[in-house]
Structure 1
Amino acid sequence: MLQRCFVIPIYNHHDTIAATVTQLLPYQLPIIIIDDGSDAATKEALAALQQQYPQWVAVHHLPVNTGKGGAVMEGLRQAHQRGLTHALQIDADGQHDANDIPRFWDCAAKHPEALISGAPQYDDSIPTARKIGRQITHFWVHIETLSLQVKDTMCGFRVYPVAATLATIEAHCPGARMDFDIEIMVRMYWRGIAMYFIPTKVIYPEGGRSHFQGLADNWRISKMHTRLFFGMLLRLPKLLARKCRRGTA
């Protein structure tokens, strides 16, 4: 039986975190929030939530900003320390459709060994540059995995099997910023961890605050894809054998 929780990485989203937490409370599951060196307003909002919902909300403060990936990794470690087996990561900014959460948990219950990820369905709110960037990353991920089965690696709405994910992190030390979501999924695929994708609506809220740093994060992601490409070459026989066994893309 799954021992479940939510993990929310947060950096300066004081205006949306209460609404995000409110949507999760009906599930009566631990909500682990990792404050990634946020500003005073966000710390105040988190303190209020922890005081209002002490049974469900636990806040862990990182002293400095480590990046989204660093916050997620800390959240998974916190979940593991509590004896929890599965963590649903959801963003703090209201970008993800919480109505789909039951579908994620149902899929995780049927496939407890797997990583369950959202397959984003975007509306017109997605910035053109982000849309193009996603298409480029999907192209490289298909090469790095020699598969079309990994449908999306950039959606931060996903259920992690905690032990398997932490084992991957310990073995490979993935990037701690916006490169994390992509790299951890490719490396878990290489380790033979099954993946399932659930179509889900993702929006870019009007007036929303993005922490994606155009030049810096694109440079990190480019370097990451270079590492993963050469990693794929080292694993080429194994990946080809898997592809032949499945007889599919």
Structure 2
Amino acid sequence: MSDFRPVVIIPSRNHGLTLGGVLEGLAPLKLPVIVVDDASDAESARELDRLAALHPEMTLLRHEVNRGKGGAFLTGLEHAVSEGYTHALQVDSDGQHDLADAPALLESARRHPGVLWSARPEYDESVPKKRLIGRYVTHVWVWIETLSFEIVDSMCGYRVYPVADTLAVIKSRPVGLFMDFDTEIMVRLYWRGLPVRFIRSRVIYPEGGRSNFRMWEDNVRISKMHARLFIESPLWWPARIRRLFRREPV
């Protein structure tokens, strides 16, 4: 598609030490990169400034106050649409994603631009077992909320969004902006008829890696998110059932 204009968006909070490796991994794509510094500490902020000076493809945006991973991504998305980009490859800044799979995600989005393409994580022994249990609980809730098993993983922040569709959903109804963002935006896009498709991708938890997941606060946010989605989900079930009977792709 001649009008397929992708950009990379990387929310970052205190991941100055790992972002350089992420940028190097993305370099073969030759794409513009928007990094949103979500109120990092002084050391990480200095490192992001240094990386911005080294990488001409990188645009650095900043939050003075922490707005969450979803809030940082939204800032990047608004900048992307102002620059005329049609699709946004979301990548985490902590080095967990296998960037060798980025070309496959982007090519799938180029061929099928009206689809939300996401990585489906394949974990090695480095993954904390508590994380796997928590992910499975969210999977079950998402299957209930969507009346479907098609969303096989809603928590991986490695995906290609159609920019216009995503902004339309966010502007129509506020979504969670912290660790609840990835799941909620995927469910709401699915409800509105945007197909969700997956590509398997390896995910690692680097030794000594820094996580921004706050066990108490983010679990509470995720629980509240599922409560919102469960209460609202019957409003979308008729459309889902109609698509099933019409054998429409969902």
With normalisation by structure 1, the TM-score equals 0.97
Write the distance in 2 (CA, Å) between the matches of 1:248 and 1:38: 41
2:15 to 13, 16, 21: 13
CA shift in 2, pair 1:18/1:237, >3 Å: same
| Residue 137 of structure 1: aligned partner | 138
Name segments (4+ residues, structure 1) moved above 3 Å. Answer: none
5+ long unaligned stretches in structure 2: none
Deviation at 1:236, TM superposition (A): 2.3
CA shift in 2, pair 1:52/1:248, >3 Å: closer
Deviation at 1:240, TM superposition (A): 1.8
Write the distance in 1 (CA, Å) between the matches of 2:26 and 2:102: 9
| Residue 44 of structure 2: aligned partner | 42
Write the distance in 2 (CA, Å) between the matches of 1:200 and 1:104: 10
TM alignment of 1:100-139, pairs within 5 A? 100-139=101-140
| Residue 176 of structure 2: aligned partner | 175
RMSD of equivalent CA atoms: 1.4
The C-alpha deviation readout for 1:86-107, integer Å capped at 9, x for no partner, is 1101111100000101110110
Are 2:79 and 1:78 aligned? yes
CA shift in 2, pair 1:4/1:234, >3 Å: same
Write the distance in 2 (CA, Å) between the matches of 1:206 and 1:5: 29
The C-alpha deviation readout for 1:62-119, integer Å capped at 9, x for no partner, is 1111111111111111111111001101111100000101110110011111111000
SS in 1 for 2:49: helix
Amino acid at match of 2:51: L
The C-alpha deviation readout for 1:180-217, integer Å capped at 9, x for no partner, is 00000000000101111000001111111111111111
Percent identity of equivalent pairs: 49
Write the distance in 2 (CA, Å) between the matches of 1:218 and 1:233: 24
Write the distance in 1 (CA, Å) between the matches of 2:180 and 2:245: 30
| Residue 234 of structure 1: aligned partner | 235
| Residue 165 of structure 2: aligned partner | 164
| Residue 29 of structure 2: aligned partner | 27
Write the distance in 2 (CA, Å) between the matches of 1:224 and 1:246: 30
Deviation at 1:30, TM superposition (A): 0.6
CA shift in 2, pair 1:248/1:23, >3 Å: closer
5+ long unaligned stretches in structure 1: none
Write the distance in 2 (CA, Å) between the matches of 1:87 and 1:46: 20
SS in 1 for 2:24: helix
Write the distance in 2 (CA, Å) between the matches of 1:6 and 1:211: 20
Amino acid at match of 2:233: M
Write the distance in 1 (CA, Å) between the matches of 2:238 and 2:161: 27
Amino acid at match of 1:76: L
Amino acid at match of 1:74: T
Deviation at 1:247, TM superposition (A): 8.5
Q: Is this contact kept in 1: 2:95–2:206, CA < 8 A?
A: yes
With normalisation by structure 2, the TM-score equals 0.96
